[in-house]
Amino acid sequence: MGRHIIYQSRAVYRNLSESWPTALRVGVADGPPGAAVMEVYGGCLSGGNGPNGLVGLGIGVETSHTRKAGRGRTSSDAHKTSHAHESSHLAEPLRDVRRGCLMKILLATDFYVPVINGVVMSVLNLKRGLESRGHEVRILTLSQTMRSFDEGGVTYVGSAGFGLLYPEARVRMMYGRNIVRALAQWRPDIVHTQCEFSTFPIARRIAELLDVPIIHTYHTVYESYTHYFSPSKKLGRIIAKAVSRRVIDQASCVIAPTEKVRAVLNGYGITQTIHVLPTGIDMSRFAAEPPAARLWALRHRLGIPDGDRVLLYVGRLAKEKNVQELLRYHAKYRPTGVTLLIVGDGPFRPALERMVTDLLIEDSVAFAGEVAQEDVPDYYHLGDLFVSASVSEAQGLTYAEAVAAGLPVLCRMDPGLEGLIPEGSSGWFYRDEADYLVKLQFFLSTGDTELSLVTDQADDARLALSYQSFAAGAERIYLDLLGASR
């Protein structure tokens, strides 16, 4: 394939990029000062290095330095900044983001495996989806010990447990200049942060050194968790607003998993662009029907009587999940031939178990405890109806998993779920106790054929909740920030 070096002024390059869709980026070359070089490989372009270091251009975008809203700097101005000498040696030819390894993406999160929660599952699914689209992804997270190390594309920063703030929470014990340097030398095109605390400052510093966009996903509506860190809800909301604004103000844009989260951020006065992007899951993992013998064995191990219909809750057992409401309703209605199966563990489990005893419903409530991730799909297929009373969900992954398994859903009305669960196809919302009982009775009196018709109508919802759609949406946001269009 022929290779040609072409020198043009930036203005000529911009005109060319508008008429040549594959022309995405350009670097300053070892040619005339201010000139741009394009290496042409059969119609695709890649940038080159020049005397002033690398300047990335996108269609309709001046330079990587003027990419950030409000800065209005030129590439020469950028060399006057205090960190220019740190980043100059990091410059390399930018990749054509339409071929091969499209982008290098750094995902930064305070939570990662072996911890399992909504943030971790979101990061894992995003990583998988981006890699399936040809991107190279690395993870920056906290170590489960005081030791920092790299392993399998993951950089672990030494940390200490801080369960007083939130169960499983950890805090970084060092800044990690060597970590910053090593990840900066990897040269990510995008830095995508997932948490507001320990890993965010490191990720932000890497983005500053490379002058690349930093995107932040706002996973947690802290107003629902004030009982963990504040003596009062009012003070907790003030703290949540201040912390959220401080972090998001440093990002190029923010991703909200649901419209509910966008509304919260708008209420905080966030001025950055807010993209609503539902977190995706591996739909095929939950859709696959387990062997009947395995489900039969699981049912008997849990002590669920043959013939009982199963109301299923899957999730963390914490006060804000409001499982206690489900227990109260179950005790009051006492449906015959129905077992409420609670899957998961957490700090509120002892209180829930005491409540079951006090309500005299031990014979129709089963606690499965914590379940290995590979076994979770079996529980969805054991259930007949997924139930939840939580109003603290930011992304509702367990709801999506239920929909993927073809399980109808009955959950408390929450703005965060409106786009996730199309009412009447994937399931139903309830607004109070009477509404819950009416819809539960409808479910119990409806035949299997009619329920199959209901869940079969949810195909569009399933597609939108796939990790492939999730990654494609994130990719579009990244490319928009880089000045490219797909």
pLDDT for the residue numbered 379:
98
Looking at residue 153, its pLDDT comes to 96
pLDDT at 414: 85
Given a cut of 90, whether residue 395 has pLDDT beyond it is: no
If you average pLDDT over each of 11-20, 94-103, 219-228, 269-278, which comes out highest? Answer: 269-278
Q: Give the CATH class of 104-280+468-482.
A: alpha beta
Mean pLDDT of the chain, nearest integer: 78
* pLDDT number for residue 41: 27
The two three-digit tokens of residue 287, written as one number? 């859709």
pLDDT for position 249 = 96
How much is the average pLDDT of 227-243?
79
- pLDDT of 16 > 70? The answer is no
pLDDT digits (tens, 9 = 90+) for 243-287: 999 999 999 999 999 888 999 999 999 999 999 999 999 999 999
Query: What is residue 463's predicted lDDT score, i.e. its pLDDT?
Result: 66
User: Which of 333, 280, 318 is closest to 443 using CA atoms?
Assistant: 333
Stretch among 115-119, 139-143, 301-305, 469-473 having the lowest mean pLDDT:
115-119
Q: How confident is the model at residue 485 (pLDDT cuts 50, 70, 90)?
A: very low
Average pLDDT over residues 121-134: 96
Average pLDDT on 169-173 reads 86
Homologous superfamily of domain range 283-465 = Glycogen Phosphorylase B; (3.40.50.2000)
pLDDT tens digit sequence for 24-57: 333 333 333 333 333 322 223 333 333 223 222 2
Tokens 């946001």 -> residue: 477
At residue 378, the pLDDT reads 98
* Residue pLDDT, tens place only, 106-118: 999 999 999 888 8
**According to the model, what pLDDT value does residue 117 have?**
85
Tell me where in the chain the CATH 3.40.50.2000 domain(s) lie: 104-280+468-482, 283-465
Most confident option among 4-8, 121-125, 225-229: 121-125
Residue 74 in this model has a pLDDT that exceeds 50: no
Q: How confident is the model at residue 196 (pLDDT cuts 50, 70, 90)?
A: very high
What are the structure tokens assigned to 67, written together? 């990419």
* Distance (Å, whole) CA 208 – CA 183: 12
Q: Quick check: 232 pLDDT over 60?
A: yes
Q: Label each residue of the chain as H, E or C.
A: CCEEEEEECHHHHHHHHHHCCCCCCCEECCCCCCCEEEEEECCEEECCCCCCCCCCCCCCCCCCCCCCCCCCCCHHHHCCCCCHHHHHCCCCCCCCCCCCCCCEEEEECCCCCCCCCHHHHHHHHHHHHHHHCCCEEEEEEECCCCCCEEECCEEEECEEECCCCCCCCEEECCCCHHHHHHHHHHCCCEEEECCCCCHHHHHHHHHHHHCCCEEEECCCCHHHHHHHHCCCHHHHHHHHHHHHHHHHCCCCEEEECCHHHHHHHHHCCCCCCEEECCCCECHHHHHCCCCHHHHHHHHHHCCCCCCCEEEEEECCCCHHHCHHHHHHHHHHHCCCCEEEEEECCCCCHHHHHHHHHHCCCHHHEEEEECCCHHHHHHHHHHCCEEEECCCCCCCCHHHHHHHHCCCCEEEECCHHHCCCCCECCCEEEECCHHHHHHHHHHHHHCCHHHHHHHHHCCHHHHHHCEHHHHHHHHHHHHHHHHCCCC
Worst-scoring range by mean pLDDT, 49-63, 204-218, 317-331, 378-392? 49-63
Mean pLDDT on 357-385: 96
Is pLDDT of 335 > 80?
Answer: yes
Lowest mean pLDDT among 47-56, 179-188, 243-252, 384-393: 47-56
423 pLDDT more than 70: no
Mean pLDDT of 441-453: 70
